[in-house]
Structure 1
Amino acid sequence: MHFNPYGGAAVELAVRLVNAPPDQDLTQLLIESDYRPFVPVTPAQEVELRRWIRELDAVFRAPSVELLNALLAKTTSRPYISTHDGRSPHLHYSQETAPVDERVKAYTAFGLAALFCETPTRIGCCARESCDIVFVDTSRNGRRRFCSTRCATQVHVADHRRRAS
């Protein structure tokens, strides 16, 4: 069996959270990510998730064992196998009854930790100076430096113009 952690829903959620604008409705973001919170994110949970997003951002900018272990230590994780909603067995990293912010924290921390253990160089942020977008490198060769073709083109054109002048 080949496990591909790069497309993992937990890592995708971490990317979406970090790249979300500051005024993004987090309940809506979780719904659009198919996370299915059982209740809307409360104001107190939103404050905690916004703090968590800053910590996730730090991991994308400089992934390390120390940062990821610190994130894992801050979760209320109790992994178990679930089969809810007729789905096949899958891991949950916190109790389904835990507050949504605690569940999101455990889910994203474990997703990033699993990816880091598999291939740490796949966690990254855009190399264009004025771009803050983070990503998970799913390219075949694992050498992605930019969040999009647009950013890559802007950098390459600027480099070309600099060399040509």
Structure 2
Amino acid sequence: MHFNPYGGVAAEIAARLVNAGADEDLEGLLVDAGYRPVGAIDARQEAELRRWIKELDGVFTAPTVELLNGLLAETTHRPYISTHDGRAPHMHYSQETAPIDERVKAYTAFGLATLFCEDPARIGRCDREGCEIVFIDTSRNGKRRFCSTRCSTRVHVAAHRRRGGDGQ
């Protein structure tokens, strides 16, 4: 499925943030995800991003209009068209000079909201019991249920064995 930059890349960054460990380097995560410019993340911004990650987590559990509107309200800025770095005109939802936590919050909120409006079923959490990994479903048919082939295989093998199909 083809996503626009907010419904795709921004939503993917939201998933990466939710999947990040408590001690994972958020600055490095954002850089690795292609989010630029990042700059140094100070202690206040780190704490705010960690709080924001908990808010984003709820979207992957049960995305609703109310939940996403709440996130959008928290990040309300004046949208504008940008043409930086020789790129074609595109929307920005926070000023490039805003602190990194404000920019990431706006980017991820608008990304998840855009994706939700396109297809809310594309926002997912792994169906394997005990797995908390979240994902953005970019599959062709939009029917993804697991975070990885590994989790899918574990569930299907266990179901096969429960049915007595282990060959024994």
Q: TM-score range by the shorter chain?
A: over 0.9
Once the two structures are overlaid, the 10-residue window that deviates more, 25-34 or 123-132, is: 25-34
Q: Describe how 1:53-132 pairs up with structure 2 within 5 A.
A: 53-132=53-132
Unaligned runs of 5+ in 2: none
The 1-side partners of 2:113 and 2:104 are apart by: 14
The C-alpha deviation readout for 1:68-115, integer Å capped at 9, x for no partner, is 001001114221111112222111110111110000000000000000
Quote the offset at 1:38 in angstroms.
4.6
How far apart are the structure 1 equivalents of 2:146 and 2:39? 36
Answer yes or no: is 1:4 the counterpart of 2:7: no
Equivalent residue number for residue 45 of structure 1? 45
Runs of 4+ deviating beyond 4 Å:
none
| Maintained 8 Å contact 2:27/2:38 | no
* Unmatched tracts of structure 1, length 5 or more: none
Q: Deviations 1:36-94 (Å, cap 9, x if unpaired)? A: 23521111100000010011111011111011001001114221111112222111110
SS in 2 for 1:164: coil
C-alpha distance in structure 2 between counterparts of 1:72 and 1:155, whole Å: 36
Which residue does 2:26 correspond to in 1?
26
* Amino acid corresponding to residue 102 of structure 2 in structure 1: E
In 1, distance between residues paired with 2:10 and 2:38? 17
Q: Which residue of 2 aligns with 1:142?
A: 142
Task: Indicate the residue corresponding to 2:153 in structure 1.
Answer: 153
Tell me the C-alpha RMSD between the 2 structures: 1.7
Whether the aligned pair in 2 keeps the contact of 1:30 and 1:37 (CA below 8 Å) is no
